[in-house]
Chain A
Amino acid sequence: MFSGMSFYKFRIIILFIFTFISSAASAGRFGSWLKENTVQDTASYVSPYAEDNEKCFKCHGQSIYEYTNETLGRQVRELMCSDKIIKREDFYRSNHKGLGCTDCHSYDYTTFPHPGELRMEQETFTCLDCHGGDESFSQYHFEAIDKEYKKSVHYIRLAKDGFSCWKCHNPHTYRIDVGKGDYREKIAYDNAICLNCHSNFNNFQLLTNRKEINIIQKHDWLPNQAAHFANVRCIECHTRVNDSIPVAHLILPKEKAVRLCNECHSQNSLLMASLYKFESRENRRNGFFNAIILNSSYVIGANRNEYLNLASQIIFLGIFIVIIIHIIFRFIKKS
C-alpha cells in the first residue's frame, strides 16, 4: 500500500493509532466512571446529627414503623403514610444532608405520640428564611429566583392555597448537582418535579379543583413527542429564561409556552440559554468543534458548522461556474 515504507514501520503506525483511539475512548469511559463514583458517592456521608436523626428515621425512613402502644400494652406495627417517608440515602445525598431534623422541624416532634397541634402548623421555613441575604449562597441567587417565582403562574394562582418552594423542591431530597455530565438524568429528575403534580391527579387535586390534565393529549401538536419528552425539560418551553439566575423559575401560563419549532431548532437555539447554558459557557471557544459539538447533544438545525456550510456553498458555486463556462463553450462551438 505505501511503497517505500517497510511493513515493520506500517505495523508500528497502526499500533500507535489503535492505542491512541482505544485509550481516548477508555479515558472517556473511565473518566466518567470516576466522576460518577466520586461526585455521587455521598451516601457514605456521615452527618454529625446522624444519631439524633435516626430517632426520626426509625419510623419515617421506611414504609413500616414500630412503636410501643401504651394503651394496648404491646408493640404495634403500622404503615407509614407514603408522603411522610424519607429514605435515609436520599436525605444523606441531598444538599441538606448536614442538617438535623429538628433544625427545621419543631423540637416538639421528639416526643411520641406527636402532639396533635403540630399538625395544624403549616410548613416550617421557606428557602429565603435560611438562604436569603446570605452572602455565602449568593451564587445561587435565591432572592432573584424568589422574585421570578413570584411572577409565575403557580404563585399568582396558587400561593393562597398553599403553593410554596416545597411543592417543587423537596427540601429533604433536593440535589443541585443532579445530572452533571449526563443530560438524561438531569432531564428525568427535573421533569419528575413537574410530573409529580401534573401527571399525578391525587397530588394535583391538593391544590386545585381543575379537571385532570392529559399531558400527552395536550401535546398532540408536538411531533416526535416521546423524543422531546426524553431529551428536553418541561421548563425549556414553559418558562421565560432569565440569564442572571441559574435555572428559570418564571413558569408561564400554557398559552405562552414555546410553540415555534425554530426557537430551539436553529442556530441561536433557545436551548443554549437553558438546558445547555452551563456547558456552552464553559466551552465557549472558537474553532471547528465549537459549533459541531453542542455539549454532546444533537439538535436538528442547531448543530450547524459554519465552516462546513461555507465549504458546501463554495463547492456548489464552483460547480455552477464550471457548468456555465461549459455551456458558453458549447454555444461558441455551435456558432
Chain B
Amino acid sequence: MYLYPKWIRLWHLFNAVLFIILIITGLSMQYTGKDNPAYVVGFAKAVKWHNAAAILLTINYIVFVTGNMITKNGRYYRSERKNYINNLIRQLQYYSFGMFKGEKKPFPITEKEKFNPLQKFSYVLAMYVALPLLIISGLGLLFPEITIKNFLGVSGLIYTDMLHITMGFFLSVFMLIHIYTCTLGAKPSSLFWGMITGYHRD
C-alpha cells in the first residue's frame, strides 16, 4: 500500500541528515577540550555547522507541522483515549516477547493506522513535545539577547542550555531506538525501502 507521499519522504530524509549533523556537532561542542580539540569536528566548525543545520531543521519542522495540518497525514498522529495505556503495553509486550513466540502483530499497519500505538506515542512525544522545546531553547542560545539574564543567581542561558541538551539527549535516544525498530519489518530492510519508494509491503 502507498503509505508515504513524496513530501513525507523528503521531510524525513532532511530530518534524518540534519539530526545526525546536529547530534555530532552538538557532542563536539560538549566534549572538545584542549587535549582533544577535534571530537569528530573541531569547536569552531561544530558551532558553525550546528547553527546552520539548526536553522534548516526549524524550517523542516515548520514544513512538517504545516503538512500535518493541511494534508490528511495529521490524522496518523491522533489517538483515541480509550484503552490508550493498555494498547501501549500490548505493543511493548509484542516487541519484548510476543514476536519471539510467533504471536500475530497486535496493531498491523493499515491505511487507516500507519503507526502502532507505541510508535505513535513516541513520535508525538518526539515531534510535538521534545522537538519544539529543543528548537525554542536552541533559539534562546542562538540569540542570547532574548533569554532571561538571571534567575535565582544562575544565568538564564544555563537553564536554556540544560533544557536544550536534555531534549537533544532524549531525541538521540529516540533516534537510536527508532532506527532499530525499523529493522522489525518483514525483512530488516523492508521498512527502509518503504521510506524510499513510498510503498509498504508486508
Q: Compute how far the CA of A332 lies from the CA of B169 in the bound complex, rounded to whole angstroms.
A: 32
Known: A223-B44, A296-B153, A296-B154. A301 touches B32 (CB 8 A): yes
Complex contacts, B100 vs chain A, CB 8 Å: 329-330, 332-333
- Interface centre among B30, B47, B150, by most chain A C-beta atoms within 10 angstroms, is B30
Complex contacts, A260 vs chain B, CB 8 Å: 34, 37
Known: A261-B44, A265-B32, A301-B30. A24 touches B152 (CB 8 A): yes
Q: Contact partner of A261 among B42, B157, B165, CB < 8 A?
A: B42
How many residues belonging to B are interface residues under a CB distance threshold of 8 Å?
A: 32
Residue ID in chain B nearest A299 by CB atoms? B157
Main secondary structure of the interface of B (DSSP, over half): helix
Residue ID in chain A nearest B165 by CB atoms? A308
* Interface mask (A287-313 → B, CB under 8 Å = 1, otherwise 0): 000001110111011011000110010
Assess whether B173 is interfacial by the CB under 8 Å rule. yes
Complex contacts, A104 vs chain B, CB 8 Å: none
Docked complex: B44-63 residues within 8 A CB-CB of A: 44, 47-48
* Interface mask (B90-113 → A, CB under 8 Å = 1, otherwise 0): 000000000110000000000000
Known: A28-B152, A227-B144, A323-B180. A292 touches B34 (CB 8 A): no
Contact, CB under 8 Å: A293 / B33 = no
Assess whether A242 is interfacial by the CB under 8 Å rule. no
Residue ID in chain B nearest A25 by CB atoms? B152
Assess whether A266 is interfacial by the CB under 8 Å rule. yes
Known: A266-B32, A266-B34. A296 touches B155 (CB 8 A): yes
- Interface centre among B29, B31, B153, B176, by most chain A C-beta atoms within 10 angstroms, is B153
Contact, CB under 8 Å: B169 / A266 = no
Complex contacts, A319 vs chain B, CB 8 Å: 173, 176-177
Contact, CB under 8 Å: A223 / B47 = yes
Complex contacts, A28 vs chain B, CB 8 Å: 150-153
Complex contacts, B33 vs chain A, CB 8 Å: 262, 266-268, 301
Complex contacts, A294 vs chain B, CB 8 Å: 158
Contact, CB under 8 Å: A25 / B151 = yes
Assess whether B1 is interfacial by the CB under 8 Å rule. no
Q: Compute how far the CA of A263 lies from the CA of B35 in the bound complex, rounded to whole angstroms.
A: 10
Task: Tell me the minimal C-beta distance from A301 to chain B in angstroms.
Answer: 5
Complex contacts, B158 vs chain A, CB 8 Å: 292-294, 296, 298, 303
Task: Tell me the minimal C-beta distance from A303 to chain B in angstroms.
Answer: 6
Contact, CB under 8 Å: A304 / B176 = no
Residue ID in chain B nearest A24 by CB atoms? B152
Complex contacts, B157 vs chain A, CB 8 Å: 298
Q: Compute how far the CA of A263 lies from the CA of B43 in the bound complex, rounded to whole angstroms.
A: 11
Complex contacts, A293 vs chain B, CB 8 Å: 153-154, 158
Contact, CB under 8 Å: B161 / A298 = yes
Assess whether A316 is interfacial by the CB under 8 Å rule. yes
Q: Compute how far the CA of A298 lies from the CA of B158 in the bound complex, rounded to whole angstroms.
A: 6
Q: Compute how far the CA of A332 lies from the CA of B180 in the bound complex, rounded to whole angstroms.
A: 17
Q: Compute how far the CA of A268 lies from the CA of B162 in the bound complex, rounded to whole angstroms.
A: 19
Complex contacts, A329 vs chain B, CB 8 Å: 100
Task: Tell me the minimal C-beta distance from A135 to chain B in angstroms.
Answer: 36
Q: Which 9 A-B pairs have the closest CB atoms?
A: A298-B157, A266-B33, A261-B43, A298-B155, A296-B155, A298-B158, A323-B180, A261-B44, A262-B37
Given contacts A24-B152, A263-B34, A301-B29, 14 further A-B contacts (CB under 8 A): A25-B152, A260-B37, A261-B32, A261-B42, A265-B29, A265-B32, A292-B154, A293-B153, A293-B158, A294-B158, A298-B144, A315-B173, A316-B176, A330-B100
25 A-B residue pairs with Cβ-Cβ distance under 8 Å, sorted by A, are A25-B152, A28-B150, A28-B153, A223-B44, A224-B47, A227-B144, A261-B32, A261-B42, A262-B33, A262-B34, A265-B29, A265-B32, A266-B33, A267-B33, A268-B34, A292-B162, A296-B155, A301-B43, A308-B165, A312-B169, A316-B173, A316-B176, A319-B173, A319-B176, A323-B177
